[in-house]
Amino acid sequence: MPAYAVLGAQWGDEGKGKIIDVLSRDADIVARFSGGNNAGHTVINEEGKFSFHIIPCGVFWPNTMNVIGNGVVVDPDVLLDEIDNLRERGHDISERLLVSERAHLIMPYHVALDNLSEAALGKEALGTTGKGIGPTYSDKAARTGIRAADLLDVDSLLPRLDGIIKHNNAIITTIYGGEPISLDDVFAKCKEWAERLGPFIAPVERIVHDALKANKNVLLEGAQGALLDLDHGTYPFVT
């Protein structure tokens, strides 16, 4: 069975979350495949209102696995907050959420660079959400990003982080006049993320492909919209 997708044809806010929640009832897997926590999907059910920025909208159906794919950039703090908020409201999704080991992580220096570059543009600012999405994708393309899999061997990450943070601090302090990012603080964050998110990290691409081969129902959850696409959108006002 082919996967089917819910996509936005405008600039986002088309009501995708509502549709995805309804379709998730019959889905074996719901997979976010792009974007980051600059997206916002709202689900309203008999339990009230739930707003998600990173977790797929299939979390309310007990037989649905929710997947964050390799094309998503993940802010671990935001993801953990959403997991905790769901648990506090009676939804433990620890057995129904997986994060691709290839998904790139939004780091504190990405957020700093996003906000500093926007401030430097002044009246010409693009109006980003300031959540580090663009800088994270830039690092992905430049092959200097940190992926979820790196948390599975967090101690080996320290030498890489040292070089990456020195490079970014040179930009932050010299070009933008900002405050440098602390290597110790970032590494402490990584160790916390490794402990809490490690059980969720998996080769989800293989899992999704196996589900499709087994004729299972896979729903792809789009984020934002076509007119925010780098190639097809209102460039440069895209994400």
74: β partners: 105
Active site residues: 13, 41
Instruction: Give CA–CA dist 183/8, Å, rounded.
Output: 39
H/E stretch holding 220 reads strand 218-221
Can you say whether the dihedral through the CA atoms of 198, 107, 138, 180 is positive or negative?
A: negative
For residues 50 and 82, is the Cβ–Cβ distance under 8 A? no
Tokens of residue 65, six digits: 């696995």
Pairing of strands 41-45, 48-52: antiparallel
